[in-house]
Structure 1
Amino acid sequence: MFLAEKAAELLAYDPGVTPQEGGLPGLDVLKSVMGSINLFGIIAVVGALAISALVWAWGHHSGGHQAEANGKKGTVVAAGCALLLGAANGIVAFFSALGTQVQ
């Protein structure tokens, strides 16, 4: 029993390192750059979604089964990317807060 308690104590060791605002110069610039990259990605995904939907429709109406399948795949991938890009900040905030919960 003592060994199990010691193992649990070692696994629960907290090194005391936490993220801090303003720790390094240029943090505001980095946040701005990441926001701009995210916006660029969302705009690119909108274009990819429109093109994929057009390929899907064209393949469906012309009888091109390969084009239709590729259009469907592109549409699903673009929609998934849009979901992840839009939710990126919330996903990171959710998972980074998991380790800070007190029992």
Structure 2
Amino acid sequence: MAIFPNFGAVGGAAQLRDIVGALLMIALITSVLMLIVCAVTWALAASHGHYQAAARGRAGVGLACATAALAGAGVAIVNFLLGVGASL
């Protein structure tokens, strides 16, 4: 399934494509780095008995996974929004 935004319906499509691509890349890189940091925090805190810090690390891992999923679905979200904007 090839899902790609229809940039022909929007003026300034080249700039929009560059901006969306850069934002998705930044979001994915940030979420992966956050996933690594939170997983290490969770592991170290759990092994040393700091259960509150372990709970915060576990929550961070969940948030990083959700952020990565939203960034991965970003193209479909942009497709939807461009379709809504073109029909207005």
Residues 52-77 of structure 1 show CA distances to partners (whole Å, capped at 9, x for unaligned) of: 00110011100000110000000000
Using the size of structure 1 for normalisation, the TM-score is: 0.66
Distance 1:70 1:23 in 2: 42
Q: Percent identity?
A: 29
Which structure: greater helix fraction?
2
Q: Which runs of 5+ in 2 are unaligned?
A: 1-5
> Whose RCO is larger (CA < 8 A, sep 6+)?
2
Q: 1:31 to 1:20 in 2, by over 3 A?
A: closer
Matches within 5 A, 1:44-83: 44-83=30-69
Moved over 6 A (4+): 95-98
CA RMSD of aligned residues (A): 2.4
Distance 1:94 1:78 in 2: 24
Task: Write the letter of the residue equivalent to 1:21.
Answer: G
Q: 1:68 to 1:23 in 2, by over 3 A?
A: closer
Using the size of structure 2 for normalisation, the TM-score is: 0.76
Q: Which runs of 5+ in 1 are unaligned?
A: 1-18, 99-103
Cα offset, 1:93, TM superposition: 3.3
Name which of 52, 68, 74 aligns with 1:88.
74
